[in-house]
């Protein structure tokens, strides 16, 4: 399976992470097969259980050790051997790690989750359960539909603008066209506003709808035919 990682994270011994790209049959019905293939690609046992929440485009961040994640758009793992995961097809996948505590989180940030500041809420929850400060966290934002392709309507513009400057700066007004939005830009700004070090926030991959060097699934491009790609993180 094709995937991308964060080169700067190579120094973290025992860390496992990946933003996977497009595969042949990644529909929900084939998710077990996709998960097994992802584990094999990363050198994990095919029997590895991924802590994958039921994503609902909200702002809840669950802690896997508290029980099944259930309906949530972020999941935190605190025990080595557990792997947090989310699936996306244009929305922004966010991975967070705490090297000192061997903890990690995977977050799904669509426009609704982004507008609800799920990125900042994930930072706060991860810090609360590990006892660290935001500056100790590292983050990576994976392939996401870019402002080149992400046309949005008034509802999305209004929701993002309610975030203040981070949201307003992510909107591109184009004369004679619909507005465009940059989800990775606003999520990065939210992480910084939450106290993270900008040097420890990385961008991986390009636009899910038009990038050709690392093909991804795109709901905006493929609609009902779109599959989903996995993003995973945890400690061995």
Can you tell me the distance from the alpha carbon of 8 to that of 95, in angstroms, rounded to the nearest whole number? Answer: 14
The conformation of residue 142, written as its DSSP 8-state character, comes to -
pLDDT in tens, 163-183: 999 999 999 998 889 999 999
**Phi, psi (deg, nearest 5) at residue 19:** -105, 110
Bridge partners, 140 (sequence order): 95, 202
- pLDDT value for 26: 45
Can you tell me the distance from the alpha carbon of 63 to that of 75, in angstroms, rounded to the nearest whole number? Answer: 6
Residue found by looking up tokens 């998710």 in the block: 31
Residues 144/92, Cβ–Cβ less than 8 Å: yes
pLDDT in tens, 139-171: 999 999 999 999 999 999 999 999 999 999 999
pLDDT in tens, 55-92: 999 999 999 999 989 999 999 999 999 999 999 999 99
Query: What's the predicted TM-score (pTM) here?
Result: 0.95
13-235: which CATH number, 3.60.140.10, 3.40.50.2030, 1.10.8.100, 3.40.50.300?
3.60.140.10
Residues 137/199, Cβ–Cβ less than 8 Å: no
Which sequence spans correspond to the domains of the chain? 13-235
For residue 132, the number of C-alpha atoms closer than 13 Å in the C-beta half-sphere is 20
Exposure class string for 156-169: b at 16+ Cβ within 10 A, else e: bbebbbebeebbee
- pLDDT value for 180: 97
Binned at pLDDT 50, 70 and 90, residue 30 comes out as low
Binned at pLDDT 50, 70 and 90, residue 36 comes out as confident
């Amino acid at each position: 399976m094709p995937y991308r990682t964060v080169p700067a994270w190579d120094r973290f011994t025992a860390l496992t992470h990946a933003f996977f790209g497009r595969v042949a049959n990644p529909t929900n019905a084939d998710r077990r097969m996709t998960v097994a293939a992802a584990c094999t690609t990363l050198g994990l046992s095919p029997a590895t259980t991924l802590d994958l929440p039921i994503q609902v485009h909200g702002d809840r961040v669950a802690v896997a050790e508290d029980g099944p994640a259930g309906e949530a758009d972020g999941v935190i793992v605190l025990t080595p051997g557990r792997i947090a995961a989310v699936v996306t097809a244009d929305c922004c996948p966010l991975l967070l790690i705490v090297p000192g505590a061997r903890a990690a989180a995977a977050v799904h940030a669509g426009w609704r989750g982004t507008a609800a500041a799920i990125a900042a809420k994930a930072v706060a929850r991860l810090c609360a359960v590990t006892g660290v400060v935001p500056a100790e966290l590292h983050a990576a934002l994976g392939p996401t539909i870019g402002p080149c392709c992400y046309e949005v309507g008034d509802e999305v513009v209004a929701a993002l603008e309610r975030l203040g400057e981070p949201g307003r700066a992510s909107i591109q007004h184009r004369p004679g066209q619909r507005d465009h939005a940059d989800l990775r830009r606003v999520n990065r700004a939210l992480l910084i506003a939450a106290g993270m070090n900008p040097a420890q926030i990385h961008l991986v991959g390009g636009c899910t709808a038009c990038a050709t060097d690392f093909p991804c699934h795109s709901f905006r491009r493929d609609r009902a035919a779109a599959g989903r790609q996995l993003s995973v993180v945890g400690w061995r």
